[in-house]
Amino acid sequence: MTLSRKKIDEYYMRRALSLALRGTERTSPNPLVGCVVVRDGAVLAEGWHACCGELHAERAALNCLESAEGATLYVNLEPCSHFGRTPPCAPLIVEKGVRRVVVGMIDPDERVSGRGIALLREAGLDVESGVLEAECRLLNRGFLRKVRLGRPWVTLKGAVGLDGAMALPSGESKWITSEGARAFAHLLRAEHDAVLVGAGTVRADDPELTVRSAWGRSPLRVLLDSMLSVSPGAKILGPSCVVFSSESASSERVAAVGASGASVVRVPRKEGGLSLGAVLSELVRRGVCRLLVEGGPSVVSSFLKEGVADALSLFLAPRLMGQGKTFTNGLSFSCMRETLSLRECGVKRAGEDFLLEGVLACSPDL
């Protein structure tokens, strides 16, 4: 049986996507990119962007070859045509003799945006774009949000009982879910560039917010604390922590928090708390493309109210908790039409609990 060219292109694009994933945790603020060079049904070389500042995927693959004469190159993101931290890839593809280039998606970065493909076509190469485009966009959702909206891709994470409570009326929330689910949650942290909580959660739980029960690096820790009211000994504080406060926090409190190694950034206050727009812009400036919001209910509700949340990762424990603080305590709707629904929903087992994941229907298209 002979496979159609479309099927072959999709097969190698899937391979490029899986190679791209090897850069997870290390490429931000750059995108995840994988590349496969194929000739006569044989893979000549593979490469991926391993770390921000290091070789781009196309260069990593082509550097293994003296010549790629007559080959097809598969890459999930348009090859660049400009000098950034590294030299441009499109001229190298031409120089190595590649005949056909299959691209997953056009680079939204305005320094590239179609210019890489134009350069290849002008040099006489056959270029096909948009192969597995939806998958390619999803893989680089953080990068796309950063370039298009100037904010990270935001996932809201919580652990709730079946009746929606995130904590008992006393504030107790340890532990709603099983050890297995908590290990899963650590894996989720490792996939993000930063993890954010509000001052209420630090006061109630004093979380470390590091990755301990799974393999992976700990992300940047972010705290919203208008008056810098948390204890200077709070576990979240330290060199890889940014604390957002308002202009009204005293310089003594700034010094006390700063002594832990954490940096303090003052942002404007709005109704309901610190300006999330200002917080998200600063996080992007610090290279954060994917943000995990770990609560509590006030912070989760603020992200939803301001329309700056994209996805949900909700751990559901098979447990009834009665009255308590629900996941979206601060939200209230007057009719069903206003409620927030999810698309692309999936449920999987996480230890003795369930993990429900989905994209908010109100999240802008990628």
Ligand X SMILES: NC(=O)c1ccc[n+]([C@@H]2O[C@H](COP(=O)([O-])OP(=O)(O)OC[C@H]3O[C@@H](n4cnc5c(N)ncnc54)[C@H](OP(=O)(O)O)[C@@H]3O)[C@@H](O)[C@H]2O)c1
Q: Per CB under 6 A, does 80 bind ligand X? A: no
Residue 239 C-beta: closest distance to ligand X, Å: 22
- Residue 58 designated active-site: yes
Q: Which stretch binds ligand X (CB under 6 A): 18-26, 101-109, 126-134, 197-205?
A: 197-205
Bridge-partner residues for 244, per DSSP? 224, 265
Q: Per CB under 6 A, does 222 bind ligand X? A: no
Q: Per CB under 6 A, does 353 bind ligand X? A: no
Number of residues that bind ligand X (CB under 6 A): 31
Q: Per CB under 6 A, does 152 bind ligand X? A: no
Q: Which stretch binds ligand X (CB under 6 A): 77-85, 133-141, 186-194, 219-227?
A: 219-227
Whole-number Å distance between alpha carbons of 73 and 52: 22
Among 91, 97, 164, 171, binds ligand X (CB under 6 A): 171
Q: Which is nearer to ligand X, 55 or 204 (CB)?
A: 204
Q: Which stretch binds ligand X (CB under 6 A): 60-68, 247-255, 258-266, 297-305?
A: 297-305
Q: Which is nearer to ligand X, 90 or 224 (CB)?
A: 224
Residue 349 C-beta: closest distance to ligand X, Å: 18
Bridge-partner residues for 274, per DSSP? 269
Q: What angle do CA 99, 59, 142 make, to 5 degrees?
A: 105
Q: Per CB under 6 A, does 351 bind ligand X? A: no
Q: Per CB under 6 A, does 182 bind ligand X? A: no
Among 294, 309, 353, 366, binds ligand X (CB under 6 A): 294
Q: Which stretch binds ligand X (CB under 6 A): 17-25, 96-104, 226-234, 347-355?
A: 226-234
Q: Per CB under 6 A, does 23 bind ligand X? A: no
Q: Per CB under 6 A, does 205 bind ligand X? A: yes
Q: For tokens 């209230």, what's the residue?
A: 332
Q: Per CB under 6 A, does 302 bind ligand X? A: yes
CB 108 within 8 A of CB 148: yes
Q: Per CB under 6 A, does 316 bind ligand X? A: no
Q: Per CB under 6 A, does 173 bind ligand X? A: yes
Q: Per CB under 6 A, does 167 bind ligand X? A: yes
> SS3 letters for the chain?
CCCCHHHHHHHHHHHHHHHHHHHCCCCCCCCCCEEEEEECCEEEEEEECCCCCCCCHHHHHHCCCCCCCCCEEEEEECCCCCCCCCCCCHHHHHHCCCCEEEEEECCCCCCCCCHHHHHHHHCCCEEEECCCHHHHHHHCHHHHHHHHHCCCEEEEEEEEECCCEEECCCCCCCCCCCHHHHHHHHHHHHCCCEEEEEHHHHHHHCCCCCCCCCCCCCCEEEEECCCCCCCCCCCCCCCCEEEEECCCCCHHHHHHHHCCCCEEEECCEECCEECHHHHHHHHHHCCCCEEEECCCHHHHHHHHHCCCCCEEEEEEECCCCCCCEECCCCCCCCCHHHCCCEEEEEEEEECCEEEEEEEECCCCCC
Q: Which stretch binds ligand X (CB under 6 A): 33-41, 109-117, 208-216, 266-274?
A: 266-274
Residue 259 C-beta: closest distance to ligand X, Å: 20
CB atoms within 10 A of CB 6: 10
Residue 290 C-beta: closest distance to ligand X, Å: 19
Q: Per CB under 6 A, does 161 bind ligand X? A: no
Q: Of residues 46, 58, 78, 294, which has the active-site annotation? A: 58
Catalytic residues: 58
- Residues at the interface with ligand X (CB under 6 A): 158-159, 166-167, 171, 173, 176, 197-201, 204-205, 224-227, 229, 272-274, 276, 294-299, 302, 325
